[in-house]
């Protein structure tokens, strides 16, 4: 009986030992089979990157971070590389997190996390660094530009990664430019050019260059306003449509040009103003205080800048004081009067149609008149002699009324 109890105890001890050894081997195998877990990180140049390495289970095996040059940064909680930008955030048996501050483009690359088992297990994590584009600059502006010139505006931004996108705007409307991208180390320099011929409509127009990039929450913009010089153009406006004797009358010389054309010179019928007491010139305005018949004539204003000279004319006709006058402005009538060619064409068509109707009606009357005479002489043409013809002709008078009915 005692021997039997000893045998049972020995078997129990052996089983316990076997299970213990098996458990220990399984635990060690699980530790060696796992790999460290990492994630890729994207950061803007000048920002901060947190690099984290984790394991699900670790039996006090050390974790290590290395940079793209395979230099050890941290081994567990021990700093291995002297770089004040790199610091330890968390170190345990299951996690190793480090922080890299003031990140530059040179920090970009593959970082390695190592788990020192037998053999060593490693996992890669890629650090992406976004290069922030510089503020755009516009070159090529000629101040001032001359009407007719061909100019090329160029917008440049440097330091972007990936390459930035440039857009052009003429005031608020987008226009297309020509893009050029050049690599400078790990970053890019981007240029966009806009070429066009300048005219007076470009004077005062704002050209804006906009730079867009994934690293920017809002685009960078810069704007230049184009100044264009062009020759003058003049027009005369007047205060009265129907000027009459005794009225106050004003002419204004409206000028368009850059630089502003001045001074404005007034003349009448090719000579000086005849009555400077009643004809007062103030800048661009000519005022006649009291109109009379002697003021009739052609008034001209003239102004110039360094690109040219322009003139404008106004024909003044002064009506009698009590005369109602025409319903339209004589100067406007001269510019926008009736179309005489059109009126003449209409009259010619009417005359032509009338002549055609007269000819057709005449031919119709002539044909029916001939038929009447023929019927009247019917029977005479076949008579054997003159007496018989007369008798036959007289006999036809009996039917004269019926023949008249044909004619009607």
Q: Are 234 and 206 spatial neighbours (Cβ–Cβ below 8 Å)?
A: no
Domain covering 231-316, topology: Immunoglobulin-like (2.60.40)
Q: Cα–Cα distance between 367 and 365 in angstroms, integer?
A: 6
Sequence-ordered list of residues with C-beta below 8 angstroms from that of 88, at least 6 positions apart, any chain: 74, 77, 79, 97, 98, 99
Identify which of 276, 327, 346, 270 has the alpha carbon closest to the alpha carbon of residue 302: 270
> DSSP letter at 369?
H
Distance CA 168, CA 160 (A): 18
Q: How far is CA 365 from the centre of its chain?
A: 73
Within this chain, domains 36-130 and 137-226 share the same CATH topology: yes
Higher pLDDT, 204 or 361: 204
Confidence at residue 387, expressed as pLDDT on a 0 to 100 scale = 54
- Ranges of beta strands (E only) in 291-380 are 297-305, 308-316
Kindly write down the DSSP assignment for every residue of 135-150, as one continuous string: PPEEE---SSEETT-E
Arithmetic mean of pLDDT, 255-278: 92
More confident residue, 169 or 323: 169
Whole-number mean pLDDT of the chain?
82
**What class is the 137-226 domain?**
mainly beta
Cα–Cα–Cα angle for 268, 269, 275, rounded to 5 degrees: 40
| Per-residue pLDDT at 16 | 38
- Residue 10: which pLDDT band, with cuts at 50, 70 and 90? very low
pLDDT band at 322 (very low <50, low <70, confident <90, very high): confident
Structure tokens at 26: 């399984």
Q: If you ran DSSP here, which 8-state letter would residue 215 be given?
A: T
Rounded mean pLDDT of 124-151?
Answer: 93
**Max alpha carbon distance in the chain (Å)?**
194
What are the b/e assignments for 224-240, b being 16+ CB within 10 Å?
bebbbbbbbebebebee
Confidence band (pLDDT; 50, 70, 90) for 33?
low
Sign of CA dihedral 325, 330, 332, 336: positive
CATH superfamily of 36-130: Immunoglobulins (2.60.40.10)
Q: pLDDT tens digit string along 298-315? A: 999 999 999 999 999 999
Cα separation, 142 vs 117, in Å, equals 70
Domain boundaries, the chain: 36-130, 137-226, 231-316, 350-389+398-407
**332-380 pLDDT tens trace:** 444 444 455 667 777 888 888 988 888 888 777 777 655 444 444 445 4
**pLDDT tier for residue 70 given thresholds of 50, 70 and 90:** very high
Question: Is the CB of residue 313 less than 8 Å from the CB of residue 236?
Answer: yes
Mean pLDDT computed over 250-255: 94
Question: Is the pLDDT at 1 greater than 60, yes or no?
Answer: no
Encoding tokens for residue 302?
């003239």
């Amino acid at each position: 009986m005692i021997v039997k109890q000893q045998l049972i105890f020995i078997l129990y001890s052996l089983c316990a030992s076997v299970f213990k050894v098996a458990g220990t081997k399984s635990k060690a195998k699980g530790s060696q089979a796992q790999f460290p877990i990492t994630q890729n990180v994207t950061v803007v140049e000048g920002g901060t990157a947190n690099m984290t390495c984790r394991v699900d289970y670790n039996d006090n095996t050390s974790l290590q971070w290395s940079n793209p040059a395979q230099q050890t940064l941290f081994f567990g909680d021990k700093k291995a590389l002297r770089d004040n930008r790199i610091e330890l955030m968390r170190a345990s048996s299951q996690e190793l997190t480090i922080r890299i501050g003031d990140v530059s483009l040179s920090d970009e690359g593959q970082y390695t996390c190592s788990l020192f088992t037998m053999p060593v297990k490693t996992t890669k994590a890629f650090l992406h660094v976004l290069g922030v584009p510089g503020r755009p600059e516009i070159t090529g502006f000629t101040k001032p530009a001359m009407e007719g010139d061909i100019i090329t505006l160029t917008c440049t931004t440097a330091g972007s990664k990936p390459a930035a996108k440039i857009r052009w705007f003429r005031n608020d409307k987008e226009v297309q430019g020509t893009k050029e991208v050049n690599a400078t180390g790990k970053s890019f320099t981007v240029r966009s050019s806009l070429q066009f011929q300048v005219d007076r409509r470009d004077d005062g127009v704002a050209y804006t260059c906009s730079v867009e990039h994934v690293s920017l929450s809002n685009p960078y913009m810069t704007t230049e306003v184009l100044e264009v010089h062009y020759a003058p153009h003049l027009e005369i406006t007047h205060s009265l449509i129907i000027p009459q004797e005794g009225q106050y009358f004003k002419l204004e010389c409206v000028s368009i040009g850059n630089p502003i054309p001045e001074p404005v010179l007034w003349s009448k019928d090719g000579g000086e103003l005849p009555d400077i007491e009643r004809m007062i010139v103030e800048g661009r305005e000519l005022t006649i205080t009291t109109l009379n018949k002697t003021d009739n004539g052609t008034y001209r204003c003239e102004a110039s800048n360094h690109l040219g000279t322009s003139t404008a004319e106004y024909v003044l006709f002064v009506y009698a004081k009590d005369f109602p006058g025409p319903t339209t402005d004589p100067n406007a009538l001269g510019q926008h009067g009736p179309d005489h060619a059109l009126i003449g064409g209409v009259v010619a068509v009417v005359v032509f149609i009338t002549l055609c109707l007269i000819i057709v009606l005449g031919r119709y009357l002539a044909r029916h008149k001939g038929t009447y005479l023929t019927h009247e002489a019917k029977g005479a043409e076949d008579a054997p002699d003159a007496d018989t013809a007369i008798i036959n002709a007289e006999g036809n008078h009996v039917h004269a009324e019926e023949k008249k009915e044909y004619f009607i």
